[in-house]
Chains A and B, each alone.
Chain A
Amino acid sequence: MAIIAQILFIILTATALYLFSKNLLRIRRNILIGKAGFVNDEKARRWKNVFLLALGQKKMFTKPVVAILHLFLYVGFVIINIELLEIMADGILGTHRIFENYFEKFELASLYHFIINSFEILAALVFVACIIFLVRRNMLKLKRFMSNDLAGWPRTDANYILIAEIILMGLFLVMNAADTQTNFIISSSLQPLFSGINSDTLFIIEHTAWWLHIIGIYIFMNYLPYSKHLHIILAFPNTYYAPLTPKGMMHNMPEVQNEVLYAMQPELAPTGAAAPASFGAKDVMDLSSKNLMDAYSCTECGRCTAACPANITGKLLSPRKIMMATRDRLEAVGKNIDLHKSFVPDNKSLLHDYITVEELRACTTCNACVEECPISISPLDIIMELRRSLVMEESNAPQEWNSMFSNIENNFAPWKFAPDDRDAWTKQA
């Protein structure tokens, strides 16, 4: 009987890990659909960002209460999962609390006790934090959670994650409580619930909770790639690859720079050089891989949208929605590739079908969204790339902008003033 459980456990674990790694590789492939965009200079500054922003959650602490609750989840998640080592060892070897035995052998029973107690305290904190978050998300009517951006699946996704965490932590505590030989800090206070239940039944309860807990973890792990919760992994590379340049700096387009240079100094133009295929981004494959990783990293918290001047004043633009639309489109392109081996045009594009011109036109490029994001996502970068495509590929600009362009071209100023009057003010000074 025990051997069957061991085999079952090994099969289950192997399947879960196989599916998980397969999904991660799929996401990696999707991210690499983008153009080269990972800059890896100044490694020390990049690691500093990872430590401050991802590990240290620096930006979360602009909202201290939420930050502390989120910290419980984060620390709890990372530390409690150390217990997985023992669970895996027990599952494979058919043992029961194998580490406890080892710790006892070296007279470290109290250390084992201390470790499990810490896990239990964290589990209880996670349990409470998730309940608070569920209430906050669904009952407190916070604008960024009530927004239409989250209508449908995204809202369900967020609730699933919280409920899953509550169940997993509950199972962990029940499992310890049903183990009557133990006496841990939180679960021991649950033990009165099981008084009067005979030891056989308790054994079944403990083992059921153990199995459900580990199965739950495997399901959760494989749910991640489909969820906004993927940030628990991608926050780290995403903060590492965050631009180190000032936020105001737009990245250059060398292909356009060269076109202009060759027009001005034809002697520099190489012979037979092919014209660039397209300018700006019409679809996800025209964006950089960093843009695409941003999309997979987004937790849809909406801090960006809450700070966006366009959104605050009722415009259609929502930076969060820009990120969600980019991920949706990338997923669709990924499925297309899965189906046809390489991408087959589907008469859709990120621009127009997922993100409208009206949204793009509302952006003031103020960088509030970029500043807000706790894990260094830039919705602005995507907006600007799409604007470039709109104007340079489709000549799609409002009439006022076209006038502005022609004023700059003819009068060297965005307004129609005589260039000769540029220094007129000096005569009145």
Chain B
Amino acid sequence: MKVNTMAEMIASGQTPEVLFWVGCAGSFDQRAQKITKAFATILDKAGVNYAILGKEEACTGDPARRAGNEFMFQMMAYQNIQILNGYSIKKIVTTCPHCFNILKNEYPVLGGNYEVIHHTQFLQELIEQGKIKITDSNEWKGKSITYHDSCYLGRANEIYEAPRKVLESLDMELREMKRCKSKGLCCGAGGAQMFKEEEKGDKRVNMERADEAIETKSDFVASACPFCNTMLTDGIKNRNEEVNTQVLDIAEMIAKAMQ
């Protein structure tokens, strides 16, 4: 499978319909790379004309801004907007809710206006359009699953239905955690916490959430954010439950269930 960059597309006179914003986790983190590859595979199979920025992509500035470093954020935003506008990007899809939130909500005031969608929304669209067909005998069928709402997708942007609709297409038994949707509990990574030790307390946030996920006794935990994925995977491993409960991104599940 060939993944084209914007530069390559433009050079060959093509205009992709959508830019896949991979994000730093999706580009560098070994676990998150699997999500990236799964999503790229889906785009490829569904016949979506897309491109990535490749080496021209840079951090959106989200962790810097949330930590309080507005200068660093503004520098990154400036550079990214120059590149995105240079390619006349109209539509962006991303597998990271943090990139999604900042591109969608915080770049417009700086001159970066794009239609930005999260990959779970895009997957829902592709399923509804019949571009993604789920095999009848997919490996998830009949298994139980719980979905963890990412704060930056859920409360921050009120996207609760798209990921659940996508999971519905897999014919699984969805078991909600007690704290879900607008009441969903954070995985502990947001606000640049991913990049530092937690403050002192009596429990780690990801353990609190992992315990709640384990309580549902589901075969799988679905995430829609590379950071939530890492946090929950760590938490579940810590409780030695990884044999019973596996954390997967929704894109990984769809990629395996596609015809």
- Chain A 350-366 interface 0/1 with B at a Cβ cutoff of 8 Å (1 = within): 00000000100111111
Q: A279 to B69: give the CA distance in the assembly, Å.
A: 10
| Listed stretches A1-9, A161-169, A185-193, A382-390; interface member | A382-390
| Listed stretches A176-184, A203-211, A404-412; interface member | A404-412
Given contacts A368-B155, A429-B40, contact A404 B67 (CB under 8 A): yes
| B110 contact set on A, CB distance < 8 A | 252, 257
* Number of A interface residues in the complex (CB < 8 A): 67
- Chain A 387-429 interface 0/1 with B at a Cβ cutoff of 8 Å (1 = within): 1111110000110110111001100111101011111111011
Contact check, B188 vs A364: say whether CB atoms are below 8 A apart.
Answer: yes
| Listed stretches B49-57, B132-140, B163-171, B240-248; interface member | B49-57
Closest A residue, CB atoms, query B54: A423
Tally the A-B contacts, defined by beta carbons under 8 Å: 215
> Which of A398, A403, A419 is B55 in contact with, Cβ under 8 Å?
A419
Q: A373 to B76: give the CA distance in the assembly, Å.
A: 33
Q: A314 to B152: give the CA distance in the assembly, Å.
A: 23
Contact check, A408 vs B76: say whether CB atoms are below 8 A apart.
Answer: yes
Question: Is B61 interfacial (CB-CB < 8 Å)?
Answer: yes
| A250 contact set on B, CB distance < 8 A | 65-66, 106
Question: Is A371 interfacial (CB-CB < 8 Å)?
Answer: yes
Question: Is A261 interfacial (CB-CB < 8 Å)?
Answer: yes
* Number of B interface residues in the complex (CB < 8 A): 72
Q: A398 to B195: give the CA distance in the assembly, Å.
A: 10
> Which of A310, A392, A413, A414 is B199 in contact with, Cβ under 8 Å?
A310
Q: A312 to B57: give the CA distance in the assembly, Å.
A: 37
> Which of A280, A367, A424 is B155 in contact with, Cβ under 8 Å?
A367
| A253 contact set on B, CB distance < 8 A | 70, 74
Closest A residue, CB atoms, query B193: A364
Contact check, A315 vs B200: say whether CB atoms are below 8 A apart.
Answer: yes
Given contacts A309-B208, A412-B58, contact A392 B188 (CB under 8 A): no
Question: Is A44 interfacial (CB-CB < 8 Å)?
Answer: no
Contact check, B59 vs A414: say whether CB atoms are below 8 A apart.
Answer: yes
| B157 contact set on A, CB distance < 8 A | 246-248
Known: A252-B106, A361-B199, A387-B68. 12 other contacts (CB 8 A): A247-B155, A309-B186, A309-B209, A310-B201, A312-B208, A313-B205, A364-B151, A413-B59, A414-B24, A424-B27, A426-B54, A428-B37
* 9 nearest A-B pairs in the assembled complex, by CB-CB distance: A248-B156, A365-B191, A314-B202, A391-B68, A314-B201, A387-B68, A366-B186, A412-B58, A249-B105
A-B contact pairs, 18 of them (CB 8 A): A246-B104, A250-B65, A260-B78, A307-B183, A313-B207, A316-B200, A358-B199, A362-B201, A363-B191, A365-B66, A387-B67, A391-B69, A413-B24, A414-B24, A414-B63, A422-B54, A426-B52, A429-B37
* B residues whose Cβ falls under 8 Å from a Cβ of A: 1, 3, 5, 22, 24, 26-29, 33, 36-37, 40-41, 52, 54-55, 57-59, 61, 63-72, 74-76, 78, 101, 104-106, 109-110, 151-152, 155-158, 182-183, 185-186, 188-205, 207-209
* A residues whose Cβ falls under 8 Å from a Cβ of B: 245-250, 252-253, 256-257, 259-261, 264, 279-280, 307, 309-310, 312-317, 358, 361-368, 370-371, 384, 387-392, 397-398, 400-401, 403-405, 408-409, 412-415, 417, 419-426, 428-429
